[in-house]
């Protein structure tokens, strides 16, 4: 290829390139001299502010006003002329587009300048950053879910351990009592008919206690395993049904009941919810000091998606250090003599509320009554 042909080809390339190219001249004799444009390809002319401008020997900073900081640009060009090489000048933003600028030494007093449109890269970078942050969020959500599941499994394992221990311990207590009393009865040396009757009565009481335990355990197992289909449930109806059952369970014991009107509808399960409310109410009228007429107050509080149902009593209260453990199976704070029970009621309540996708909590101080709440999703 001869020089002329090569020159023609280079010019064609220069003219047709998408990147903006400019050739600058620098009078290296004067360190203060600013570079002048002596040649630009059409892509560069398009970017140049002054389209009809005769750019020949025009200052670069006049052709591209605001693109460069004039003195820094001049100094960079002088450095390149002296030492050769190339220099990235960073990115410039113009009319919603982004451009990367690179200058390089051509001859001692000529500098080449390439301006490439990097808007697509920027958009892709932004897209990648968006995707990365979404991935990070998804990964964090996944981590959270794994942690939650692990915590749930750990809780279930712990519960199973204490469940097996408590069941064997609590069920053996009445059996041991029955064995002991039966042995005394078998001892002929004994006793008058009255004494024998007293022992038989104790055996009967122990058997009754064991029956209660087994019934409660079955109720706990039912609420844990039964299939629950969630549906809108009127709390008005739930509380009314629980109040009717409470009247039967109270067996004539006096108490006062104040229920707020127009309780809302929540997402739950009618029979499960009646059992939850009944258990809370039963405790509310049971754990009161002697001589105090129990007062139960029931109302709701609504916030955005959720609704809280409160069951408040005027009873003996629960010290803060015990407020977590009373929800575990067989955990009781009092002797059977002072307050009878099996210690399963609140475990049922907690399990049921979990299965309804809700939460349970309580506020209480010793001697100042207790306020239990359950939080469920609102239906409207």
For position 345 contacting ligand ADP by CB under 6 A, the verdict is: yes
| Shortest Å, Cβ 296 to ligand ADP | 9
Bridge-based pairing of strands 86-94 and 110-117 is unpaired
CB 24 within 8 A of CB 34: no
Contact region with ligand ADP (CB under 6 A), list: 23-31, 83-91, 131-139, 326-334: 326-334
Q: What are phi and psi of 134, to 5 degrees?
A: -65, -40
Contact region with ligand ADP (CB under 6 A), list: 60-68, 108-116, 162-170, 337-345: 337-345
For position 209 contacting ligand ADP by CB under 6 A, the verdict is: no
Q: Could you report how far apart the first and last alpha carbons of the chain are, in Å?
A: 83
Comparison of 315 and 358: residue with beta carbon closer to ligand ADP: 315
For position 242 contacting ligand ADP by CB under 6 A, the verdict is: no
Contact region with ligand ADP (CB under 6 A), list: 102-110, 229-237, 252-260, 279-287: 279-287
| Whole-Å CA distances, 24 to 40, 59, 71, 312 | 9, 9, 15, 86
| Whole-Å CA distances, 92 to 34, 41, 102, 260 | 20, 19, 11, 67
Bridge-based pairing of strands 256-259 and 295-303 is parallel
For position 334 contacting ligand ADP by CB under 6 A, the verdict is: yes
Strand pairing partners for 86? 104
- Position closest to ligand ADP via CB: 341
For position 287 contacting ligand ADP by CB under 6 A, the verdict is: yes
Q: Pick the closest to residue 112 from 48, 35, 54, 46 (CA basis).
A: 35
For position 313 contacting ligand ADP by CB under 6 A, the verdict is: yes
- Alpha-carbon span 299 to 312, nearest angstrom: 9
Comparison of 195 and 366: residue with beta carbon closer to ligand ADP: 366
For position 318 contacting ligand ADP by CB under 6 A, the verdict is: yes
For position 343 contacting ligand ADP by CB under 6 A, the verdict is: yes
CB 316 within 8 A of CB 288: yes
| Shortest Å, Cβ 369 to ligand ADP | 8
Residues within the interface to ligand ADP (CB under 6 A): 283-284, 287, 313, 315-316, 318, 326, 331-334, 341-347, 370
């Amino acid at each position: 290829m001869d020089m002329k042909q090569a020159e023609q080809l280079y010019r064609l390339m220069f003219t047709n390139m998408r990147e903006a190219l400019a050739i600058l001249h620098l009078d290296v004799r004067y360190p203060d001299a600013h570079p002048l444009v002596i040649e630009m390809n059409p892509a560069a002319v398009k970017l140049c502010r002054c389209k009809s401008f005769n750019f020949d020997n025009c200052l670069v900073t006049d052709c591209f006003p605001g693109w460069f900081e004039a003195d820094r640009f001049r100094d960079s060009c002088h450095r390149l002329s002296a030492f050769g090489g190339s220099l990235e000048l960073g990115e410039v933003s113009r009319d919603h587009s982004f451009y990367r600028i690179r200058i390089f030494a051509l001859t001692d007093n000529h500098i080449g300048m390439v301006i490439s449109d990097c808007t697509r890269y920027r958009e892709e970078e932004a897209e990648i950053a968006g995707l990365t942050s979404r991935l990070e969020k998804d990964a964090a959500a996944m981590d959270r879910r794994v942690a939650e599941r692990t915590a749930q499994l750990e809780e279930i394992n712990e519960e199973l351990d204490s469940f097996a221990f408590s069941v064997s311990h609590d069920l053996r207590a009445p059996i041991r009592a029955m064995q002991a009393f039966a042995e005394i009865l078998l001892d002929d040396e004994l006793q008058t008919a009255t004494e024998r009757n007293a022992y038989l009565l104790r055996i009967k009481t122990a058997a009754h206690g064991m029956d209660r335990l087994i019934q409660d355990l079955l109720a706990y197992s039912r609420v844990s395993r039964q299939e629950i289909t969630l549906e809108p449930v009127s709390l008005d109806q739930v509380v009314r049904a629980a109040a009717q059952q409470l009247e039967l369970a109270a067996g004539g014991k006096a108490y006062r009941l104040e229920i707020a009107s127009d309780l809302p509808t929540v997402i739950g399960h009618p029979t499960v919810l009646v059992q939850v409310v009944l258990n809370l109410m039963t405790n509310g009228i049971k754990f009161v000091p002697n001589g105090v007429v129990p007062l139960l107050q029931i109302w709701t509080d609504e916030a955005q998606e959720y609704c809280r149902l409160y069951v408040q009593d005027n009873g003996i209260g629960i010290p803060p250090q015990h407020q977590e453990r009373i929800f575990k199976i067989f955990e009781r704070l009092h002797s059977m003599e002072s307050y009878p029970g099996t210690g399963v009621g609140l475990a049922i309540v907690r399990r049921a509320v979990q299965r309804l996708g809700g939460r349970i909590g309580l506020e209480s101080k010793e001697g100042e009554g207790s306020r239990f709440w359950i939080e469920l999703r609102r239906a409207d």
